[in-house]
Structure 1
Amino acid sequence: MKTEDFYYDLPERLIAQHPLKDRSSSRLLLVDKKNGSMEDKHFYDIIDYLNKGDVLVLNDTKVMPARIFGHRKGKEESIEVLLLKQNEDDIWECLTKPGKKTKIDSEIIFSDRLSGKVVDLSDDGSRFIKFNYEGIFHEILDELGEMPLPPYIKEKLEDKDRYQTVYSKEEGSAAAPTAGLHFTKELLNEIKAKGVELAYITLHIGLGTFRPVKVEDVENHKMHSEFYIINKEAADKINKAKKNGNRVIAVGTTSVRTIESVAEDDGSIKEKSGWTDIFIYPGFKFRTIDALITNFHLPESTLLMLVSAFSSKELMFKAYSEAIKKEYRFFSFGDAMFIY
């Protein structure tokens, strides 16, 4: 299986540059795995396709304002730092731009309350920066940081909250779980009133989101590890649904990866936390997830490989071709798909 097998051509005008005014008014492409049929709806119609006893699995991670700007001590040129993952002793794994300016022992000044020193480099080009600060780190980050929007979004985001889900809670992500951006609090309340259970899990999205697949053979790609938490309440809801023959529906690829990382052969899961580097591509055997709400993903990305594994590569490319023809909006602020 080649990485280039997952390439498709997308007109640039279809890359969504901003979120819609109403989250739930985005378009929704229904894709039936069994017969390959497709139907055009709006996201608020999702409630008509959810049944009493189903469980929606939602990733409640919260995006940090993880993009900060500074300069090297004694220099004037701007250095951009993207925080990806916190290690111990105030050391963070980061991406820096320009990377060649941030060698080991480089000191970066962000403000009179925050500075950092590059203490190590990784083989893939990321930097390990030890931060020094006065006060509470995340409060300083809230003051100085910007939302780490993907590079294909060129327009400035006026409202930081629009790159957060309405149920975001646990801060620690370098990117949003974008399938969840379509839900409003009102829609979630309507879904609950219908008898659908909501199971909240956490996966802090990190480096893998920003790294393209560079290997020729898909199987040789290595995912970076990301931290997850599944509490007892979420595990119990999912296990009850499996036992009763109801569906477990993942909201987003991050929810899929979290649940399938811990799934037993019978589809049950346990309360657990840890690190996962699971890589899902065609041939993967899904044990717990029965249906998937997801956005439209970049060509040759691990996310496109995951959704191709969940349906089939042939059906996914047929769906993407249909979405392009009907001018759906793509990527983070774009429209959604329900594969069931």
Structure 2
Amino acid sequence: MSIPESPDLSVFNYHLPDEKIAKRPLANRHDSKLLLYEKGYISDKVFREAPEFLDERTTLFFNNTKVIPARLHFQKDTGAQIEIFLLKPVSPTPIISTVMESTDEVIWECMVGNLKRWKEETVLRRTLNDGNQEVQLKATLVNRDERLVSFKWDNKDYAFAEIVELAGQVPLPPYLNRAAEPEDKPRYQTVYSKEEGAVAAPTAGLHFTDQILEQLKQNGVKESFLTLHVSAGTFQPIKVDDAREHPMHSEQIEVTIDTIKDIVEAKRVVAVGTTSMRSLESLYWFGVRLANGNEQFNIEKLELYQAGDLPSRTEAFQYIHDWMIDKGIDKLSGSTEIFIMPGYQFKVCDGLFTNFHQPGSTLMLLVAAFIGEHWQKVYDHALQNEYRFLSYGDSSLLLP
């Protein structure tokens, strides 16, 4: 397999009327529609029926990242409003899980609204109150060109995760065109979220409830968890004519040895969301690296388009499992900027739960890679049958 030709990107810029975009979640998560695509056939279901379509051969892989309130607002003494959107940590480490536990100064790369009104020597301040005590938070612009912002606070009893919980707002996607509301805090979060660090939700998981998870267990469906901290790059449209030149965002992955073992033993792998799919396929290519003597887990954008004699899914993940045993580690951390587009031959995933994505996005290419030209039939059906689109929208289960 070699790097494919760039697909005709105009095909993926389908027309999405604004009224098709779900601006708010449904009252009950599992009441969303579910488009079931199975070997070319489409049927309309409701998400609470999802357990009926999976059996004891299936292992579901969930992304348990937790969305942080990444949008912080400050006001200068002059009254000017400065909005800071956390993108990725730089110091004391780029590892998100470690930074979220930090009680000392942290530095993040950020998007800054009204940047021209914020001089580098100006310290922005906010007083935070959790109901028991006050905390003074200071933000300083330390590098304008790289948009690096330092955060310090005066109480070491608080980790940075607790600081952003007090100071931040839910980072709703820009296409919702509205401010965050109280109901967004629990609803723009999966019920199984655990590892803090995402600035966007893994939205395919928003439909799952504790009741559905229990029904799946009763059906003999196995569940396993990994972590990919979703970045703001997930909303970045393709702006180049050649998709291969699109700058893919790098995202951090963490996975335990138990999850690696689950993949080795899995008979049928179904990814809950494109972030889980990208994580699983990236892990396969890390296994290929290990087989070739490379222990670096930083999967590059087009690395997945390799020809030659490649290991099976089981073999690749057995390499990872044995390597982790040999190194004495039970959690693996790495990064990926993997770009799945038509022409990719999937190595791990047999099925996918996913919402309906933005026109012209990299995720449209991923769906097209997974189910081929039938993606157009799926999207036409969804548009014609009152499906709700994007983050708070309806779901699909793709079983090619």
1:83-232 matches, cutoff 5 A: 83-89=86-92, 90-102=106-118, 104-105=120-121, 107-111=123-127, 113-121=136-144, 127-135=147-155, 136=158, 137-155=160-178, 156-159=180-183, 160-232=185-257
Name the structure 2 match of 1:262.
Answer: 283
SS class of match (1:87)? strand
Q: Is the 8 A contact 1:179 1:295 kept in 2?
A: yes
Q: 1:151-180 CA distances to partner (integer Å, 9 max, x unpaired)?
A: 122354332111110000000100110000
CA RMSD of aligned residues (A): 1.7
Q: d(CA) in 1 for partners of 2:233 and 2:268?
A: 28
1:16 maps to what in 2? Answer: 22
Letter in 2 for 1:25: D
> CA offsets, 1:301-325, max 9 Å, x none?
111111111111x211221111011
Return 229-238 or 160-169, whichever deviates more.
229-238
CA contact (8 A) 2:233 2:248 kept: yes
Q: In the TM superposition, what is the alpha-carbon distance from 1:102 to its structure 2 partner? A: 4.5
Q: Compared with structure 1, are the counterparts of its residues 101 and 279 closer, same or farther at alpha carbon in structure 2 (3 Å cutoff)? A: farther
Q: Give the 3-state SS of the residue equivalent to 1:233 in structure 2.
A: helix
1:114–1:134 Cα contact (<8 Å) kept? yes
Q: Determine the C-alpha separation between the residues in 2 that align with 1:194 and 1:104.
A: 58
Q: Distance in 1 between matches of 2:49 and 2:279?
A: 26
Q: For 1:2-41, what aligned pairs fall within 5 Å after superposition?
A: 2-32=8-38, 34=39, 36-41=40-45
Larger Rg computed on CA atoms: 2
Tell me if 1:292 matches 2:315: no
Q: Which residue of 2 aligns with 1:252?
A: 273
Does the C-alpha gap of structure 1 residues 286 and 99 become closer, same or farther in structure 2, counting only changes over 3 Å?
Answer: farther
Choose which of 309, 315, 328 in structure 1 pairs with 2:387: 328
How far apart are the structure 2 equivalents of 1:276 and 1:102? Answer: 33
SS at match of 1:85: strand
Instruction: Pick one of 54, 62, 68 that aligns with 1:50.
Output: 54
Give the structure-1-normalised TM-score: 0.92
SS at match of 2:191: coil
Using structure 2 for the length normalisation, give the TM-score: 0.78
Say whether 1:75 aligns with 2:95: no
SS in 2 for 1:188: helix
Q: Deviations over 1:104-140 (max 9, x none)?
A: 5554334471121222256xxx621111212222222
Any gaps of 5 or more consecutive residues in structure 2?
A: 1-6, 93-105, 128-134, 288-310, 322-331
* Structure-1 residue corresponding to 2:368: 308
Letter in 1 for 2:112: T
User: Alpha carbons of 1:79 and 1:285: their partners in 2 closer, same or farther (altered >3 Å)?
Assistant: same
Question: The residue matched to 1:223 in structure 2 has which SS?
Answer: coil
Matched residue count: 329
Aligned counterparts of 1:294 and 1:214: Cα–Cα separation in 2: 23
Letter of the structure 2 residue corresponding to residue 109 of structure 1: R
Q: CA deviation at 1:238?
A: 1.4
Q: Is the 8 A contact 1:64 1:147 kept in 2?
A: yes
Higher mean displacement: 206-215 or 224-233: 206-215
Deviation at residue 192 of structure 1 after TM alignment: 1.0
Name segments (4+ residues, structure 1) moved above 6 Å: none
**2:343 counterpart letter in structure 1:** G
What whole-Å deviation, never above 9, does each CA across 1:230-259 have from its counterpart, x for those lacking one?
111111111101xxxx21000000001111
2:69 corresponds to which of 31, 44, 65 = 65
